[in-house]
A and B are shown apart, each in its own frame.
Chain A
Amino acid sequence: MAQVILFNVTNGLIIGAFYVLMALGLSLILNLSNVINFAHGNFLALGGYLAFTLSTVLGYWGALLISPLLTALVGVLVERLMIRRIYNRDPVYSLLLTFGLAFVLQDGARFIWGPNGLPMGLPAVLAQPITSTLFFITWYRVFMVAIVIVTVIGLFAFLRYSRLGLRIRAGTFDLETVATLGVNVRHLRTLNFAVGCLLAGLSGVLAAGQIGLNPNMGDELLMPSFIAIIVGGVGSLIGTLFGGLLIGMAAALTTVFYPAASEAVIYAIMMAVLLLRPRGLIGEEGMMS
């Protein structure tokens, strides 16, 4: 039993880590641009597929490095060509736009890489279990969690200490004032969107090594990421971080005792939060209304 629980705790940690990466990217875009990026799961898939193709040329490590950057580049193009046009319109249009984009990207991935699942090769060193008693914990799982931790710390440091990060955070609170102070808000939003897509691309590469590739691999992560944001509190990235870990853990632990409810439990948590603490666990008062 102890081993079953440990197995599911590590699972929860890994699932939670994916939710966190996805949700942080979504949250960044939502906070600054007020856009729910429905296509975020498809940027994740894109990152994974790009890594799959690049790894034949650059090897795994090169692909791990380059493919998130390429995903971010695609993000920049998408933002410049389409999303930028609807910032000042009713939110219904941004939802429809990214929703349509999600369809196109998903179908595009299916067209280019085929409808069937593809395996992502891993370097031999990552594929081994860490010890024979803990056979279910491969080095890859440790590696994934480590990468996520480093990325999250890096992101928070970037937002806290770099000039660009400070501007993004300031823009979250009051974009007009930031624009008045002479910051090019258009560029700021583009870069911010790119950072969000970078995180999605990175989670795509990591997820590919864990669950393999298929055209709708991002879909299952999208809803939990929404919920992570709602639970953590809109407007707070720390909230999103804890929200993601919380629901990942909750889903994994429910699997131990009652597998059928593992999906339902995260929705139950969302409802409880909406009922008892509508602004989310760490959300700013007023951000959500």
Chain B
Amino acid sequence: MSTAIVATDEDRSVSRKTVMLVAIWAALLTVPLWLPLLGGYTALAGRVLVFGLAAMGLNMLLGFTGVLSFGHAAYFGLGAYGAGLTLRYLVHSTPAAIAAGTLLGGLAGTLFGLLIVRRRGVYFAMCTIAFGQLWYYLAYSWNSVTGGFDGLRDFHREAIGIPPLVLDITEGGTTFYYFLLAIFAAAVGLMGFLLRSPFGRTLLAIRENERRARFLGIPIERHVWLSFSISCFFTALAGTLYALLNNFADPLTLHYSLSGYFVVMTVIGGMRTFWGPLLGAAVFVMLQDYISSMTVNWMSFVGVIFILVVLFFPRGLLGMMRRRIAA
């Protein structure tokens, strides 16, 4: 019976959803055409995709499981360092770097998730923050391997494929953007599939009423742990792409400020919506790019944005749109 209700709900909004999906993908696919007209550059779009993916990964936990991590920069940064270290010390292969970084960040999250899965609310958040900073200090002080404060340099993304069939992404620009977009699409498709599966629906049940879900016999801890772990894998994947985008990984990719940025991107776009974090990432990246080019006091502006969003704008852009349509 419950599936029937969900189905009618989805029927009613299916056309709107299709329109929105077509619009999003059309916009993403044509970025190299329209972004220069607005005064942007393609690398900026790459950053939106990467941060968007990281925030969407976080949102799986934050918006769809109702569990607050304020330390996702750790997994993002581990992904970046994992990719960078692989390219620099192990093999000159972009796919291997992506795989290694994603595994490093994802597994770190999976193991740490085991320790904190019984905590909730602010205490969960506090543990994630503190654990995240561990990696920051490690990257910061393990100079000989990570490059310390200056960050990890001397690696660059490699062309993919065997000679006749080669995808040359070393040049940045449009080719690399579409490479990022392809990975983004695959990851987001997988995420959508997971959230629509019975597993994803169970996460929603936990978010809505954890006690009731527990009484129904759902193993809460295992689901929260899985959700945390999967979310870390997605964010770590985004981190590897960030390292490839910049050919650089620095300790700030591990710092809790970045975790805060991910959370605020998610909230700006709309926590309870699938695409919200991408929109939030776009808004945040553009604003940051603009403000930091205008003033040295960009920190105040970013801080004020945080405060304004919390006080006056807690549902985010998509959340407000959805509400307006419903009304």
Contact = CB atoms under 8 A, between A and B. Distances in A.
Interface of A: 30, 34-36, 82, 85-86, 89-97, 99-104, 106-108, 110-111, 223, 226-227, 229-230, 234, 260, 263-264, 267, 270-271, 274-275, 278, 288-289
A263 B130 contact: no
B129 interface: yes
Given A93-B314, A97-B310, A102 B134 contact: no
Contacts of B307: 82, 97, 100-101, 104
A85 B310 CA distance: 10
B116 interface: yes
Given A86-B310, A274-B115, A100 B130 contact: no
Contacts of A267: 130-131, 133-134, 137
Given A35-B122, A108-B300, A234-B123, 5 more contacts: A34-B121, A104-B300, A110-B299, A223-B130, A264-B138
A274 B306 contact: no
B264 interface: yes
A86 B309 CA distance: 12
A99 B306 contact: yes
A289 B62 CA distance: 17
A52 to B, nearest CB: 21
A97 B271 CA distance: 16
B306 A226 contact: no
Contact of A95 (B122, B297, B309): B122
Contacts of A260: 141
A99 B299 contact: no
A91 B126 CA distance: 11
A107 B123 contact: no
A270 to B, nearest CB: 6
Interface in B77-117: 115-116
B310 A93 contact: yes
A82 B264 CA distance: 17
B68 interface: yes
Contact of A82 (B297, B311, B314): B311
B126 A229 contact: yes
Given A96-B260, A96-B267, A97-B307, A107 B297 contact: yes
B120 interface: yes
Most buried by A among B62, B126, B314: B126
A91 B122 contact: yes
B137 A263 contact: yes
Nearest to A261: B141
Given A95-B122, A95-B263, A267-B131, A85 B297 contact: no
Interface string B283-319: 0000000000000010110111111011100100000
Contact of B126 (A85, A89, A226): A226
A289 B120 contact: yes
B130 A270 contact: yes
A107 B299 CA distance: 6
A91 B118 contact: no
Query: Which residue, of B62, B133, B303, B305, has the highest number of chain A Cβ atoms within 10 A?
Result: B303
Contact of B118 (A85, A101, A289): A289
A35 B260 CA distance: 15
Contact of B263 (A36, A96, A107): A96
A91 B306 contact: no
A274 B111 CA distance: 12
A255 B141 CA distance: 14
A263 B299 contact: no
Which 3 residue pairs across A and B have the least CB separation, nearest first?
A100-B306, A103-B303, A104-B303
B127 interface: yes
Which of A85, A100, A270, A288 has the most chain B CB within a 10 Å cutoff?
A100
A110 B307 CA distance: 19
Contacts of B302: 100, 103
Contact of B115 (A94, A99, A106, A275): A275
A92 B271 contact: yes
Contacts of B305: 100
16 contacts: A34-B121, A86-B310, A91-B125, A95-B70, A95-B122, A96-B267, A103-B303, A104-B299, A223-B130, A264-B137, A267-B131, A267-B133, A267-B134, A270-B130, A278-B119, A289-B118
